[in-house]
Amino acid sequence: MATEQDKILDEVTKGEYKYGFYTDIEMDALPKGLSEDVVREISRRKGEPEFMLDYRLKAYRNWLNMKTPDWAHLNIPEIDFQDIIYYAAPKSKPKLDSMDDVDPELKATFDKLGIPLEEQKQLAGVAVDAVMDSVSVKTTFKETLAEKGIIFCSISEAIREYPDLVKKHLGSVVPPNDNYFAALNSAVFSDGSFVYIPKGVRSPVELSTYFRINAMNTGQFERTLIIAEDDSYVSYLEGCTAPKRDENQLHAAIVEIVAMERAEVKYSTVQNWYPGDKDGKGGIYNFVTKRGMCKGDYSKISWTQVETGSAITWKYPSCVLMGDHSSGEFYSVALTNNHQQADTGTKMIHLGKHTKSLVVSKGISAGKSQNSYRGLVKVSKRADDARNFSQCDSLLLGDKCGAHTFPYLEINNNSAKIEHEATTSKIGEDQIFYCNQRGIATEDAVGLIVNGYVKEVINQLPMEFAVEAQKLLEISLEGSVG
């Protein structure tokens, strides 16, 4: 059986990235390199108000004095920040009324990705704000949402149209000097999404954005800001695929969520950027700062992520539980293969009373990859009756990969109930045997077991995403046996 396993494993390691193609769209880009002038130019080209320029410049100056974080269990090659184009926009910037006006080549790209941007999207009930490189191209469902008072637009538009909202909330969760990559993003972010749900409104559709890194050598610096006012609800979906490229591409995004009283925000991600080829060449560097602030009492923020792509992932979606009775959730599946490295997890900061948090993390490592869970649960002194349960499991497929767990529990209140569990294992021979006995081939059995293993997390995803996520896992893991 061992040889068969080796063969299957071999096949998996040779599995090539399915979404590797490149759209030829003319780009209007700034020259490579980063300086104060570049920051000013980005701000000027986007026609931003004065406060945004100040914000960017402050962040840029902070960034100059910061150092790349080296505490993660990652081996990050040195990044030349002067060799990156910080701004690239598709040249023709169409203002579109109908689907027919969309650049056919762009449309073809999305079709290849299987994004139902067209009519079927409406049936699926998903509004899409498609971001290609840095500038928002097409937004659907805007009117439906506008009726409810929901604002769903690109962040550049929001900066122009709703400067007060942006000024109030931008950087309130992730300050510009938060960390190295957050500072970089704050200085040069090009575009992203802005969501505002007014008081008492439940978003009738799931909001989704497809990010796509396209142009050569363009670091993509997305910025997402979600504001949920009292008693509102929104579910936000983010999905990523990127074309195949040999040079490493940097992606340093920020997602900020503010949830006011009794508001609930659900943020789901499926990330499948180019992970590099099977020799570890190329691939995206994914250094993301995601943080939600449960500002109001009884508010709730839930992160769900399925991470299968990127050469290096450095990502810790976190919840700051400020309001009393607020709660945070984190569900994650992180899959690494070949030479991928992932250091991901969450931070749950309990500040308010009666706060709850739940962490379910499932790591799967295969090939020669390294997969780490790094999490912090912090209960401050005044956070009475805090409750946390964390579970982080790792599954190892192959004997050359690594699975690591770095949980930090810092408890300063005696009424806290904190539980942390972690296990590491491979797929048991008895499990495979059991399936074989019942006529299920080894390959299918592995799929079955892995699917069962991640079910808890996948179940949290909205339906459309759950399907995509399962597909992704299948592609990456088809038939691998530990």
Partner 1 sequence: MDNVIKNIIGKDISIGELFEEYRSQIEEHSSEVLNSFRGEAFDTFQETGIPSNKVENYKYTNLQPFFKGDFKFSIAPGKSEQNVEDVFSCDVDTLDTYTLYVVNGWYYPLNDLEGLPAGVRIGSLAQLSKDDPAFFKKYYGKRVPYLSDGIAAMNTMFAQDGFVIHIPKGVVVEKPIQIVNILMSEESLMATQRNLIVMEENSEAKVMVCDHTLSTDKFVMNSVTEGHIARDARLDFYNLQNQHNATTQVAGFYFEQHENSLVSTNNLTLHAGVARNNIELKLAGEHAEGRAYGLYLLDKNQHVDNFSYIDHAVAECFSDELFKGVLDDYSTGAFTGKIMVRPDAQKTNAYQSNNNLLLTNDAKINTKPQLEIYADDVKCSHGATVGQLDEDAMFYLRTRGINKEEATILLMYAFAYEVIEKIKVKPLREQIRGLVEQRFRGELDKCHSCVVCGQKGTEITCL
Binding site for partner 1 (CB under 8 A): 71, 73, 381, 394, 396-426, 482
- Calpha distance 473→469 (Å, rounded): 6
210, two tokens: 């497809």
Q: Identify which of residues 122 and 431 has a Cβ nearer to partner 1 in the complex.
A: 431
- Nearest approach, Cβ of residue 396 and partner 1 (Å): 4
Closest by alpha carbon to 197, among 259, 240, 104, 134? 259
CB distance 353 to 385 below 8 Å:
yes
What are the CA-CA distances from residue 157 to residues 152, 162, 258 (Å)? 10, 8, 19
- Calpha distance 255→73 (Å, rounded): 23
Angle among Cα 341, 129, 240 to the nearest 5 degrees reads 15
Q: Identify which of residues 422 and 435 has a Cβ nearer to partner 1 in the complex.
A: 422
- Calpha distance 215→81 (Å, rounded): 17
- Nearest approach, Cβ of residue 365 and partner 1 (Å): 9
CB distance 477 to 443 below 8 Å:
no
30, two tokens: 């700034």
Q: Identify which of residues 15 and 398 has a Cβ nearer to partner 1 in the complex.
A: 398
- Nearest approach, Cβ of residue 364 and partner 1 (Å): 11
Closest by alpha carbon to 340, among 284, 399, 289? 284
DSSP for residue 279? T
Q: Identify which of residues 76 and 422 has a Cβ nearer to partner 1 in the complex.
A: 422
Q: Identify which of residues 243 and 363 has a Cβ nearer to partner 1 in the complex.
A: 363
- Calpha distance 228→296 (Å, rounded): 10
Q: Which amino acid is at 354?
A: H
- Buried residues in 136-147 as b, exposed as e (16+ CB within 10 A): bbbbbbeebbee
Q: Identify which of residues 45 and 387 has a Cβ nearer to partner 1 in the complex.
A: 387
Q: Which residues share a beta bridge with 125? A: none
Q: Identify which of residues 241 and 390 has a Cβ nearer to partner 1 in the complex.
A: 390
Q: Identify which of residues 270 and 383 has a Cβ nearer to partner 1 in the complex.
A: 383
- Nearest approach, Cβ of residue 420 and partner 1 (Å): 4
- Calpha distance 203→245 (Å, rounded): 37
DSSP for residue 218? B
Chain centre distance of CA 223: 11
298: three-class secondary structure by DSSP:
coil
Q: Identify which of residues 233 and 406 has a Cβ nearer to partner 1 in the complex.
A: 406
- Nearest approach, Cβ of residue 335 and partner 1 (Å): 15
CB distance 224 to 255 below 8 Å:
yes
Q: Identify which of residues 172 and 424 has a Cβ nearer to partner 1 in the complex.
A: 424
Task: Count CB neighbours of 28 within 10 A.
Answer: 13
Q: Identify which of residues 12 and 132 has a Cβ nearer to partner 1 in the complex.
A: 12
139: three-class secondary structure by DSSP:
strand
- Nearest approach, Cβ of residue 390 and partner 1 (Å): 9
DSSP for residue 222? B
- Nearest approach, Cβ of residue 381 and partner 1 (Å): 7
- End-to-end alpha carbon distance in the chain: 11
- Nearest approach, Cβ of residue 286 and partner 1 (Å): 22
- Nearest approach, Cβ of residue 275 and partner 1 (Å): 20
Question: Phi and psi at residue 395, in whole multiples of 5°?
Answer: -120, 130
Q: Identify which of residues 117 and 481 has a Cβ nearer to partner 1 in the complex.
A: 481
Chain centre distance of CA 1: 38
- Nearest approach, Cβ of residue 317 and partner 1 (Å): 20
- Nearest approach, Cβ of residue 289 and partner 1 (Å): 21
- Nearest approach, Cβ of residue 248 and partner 1 (Å): 25
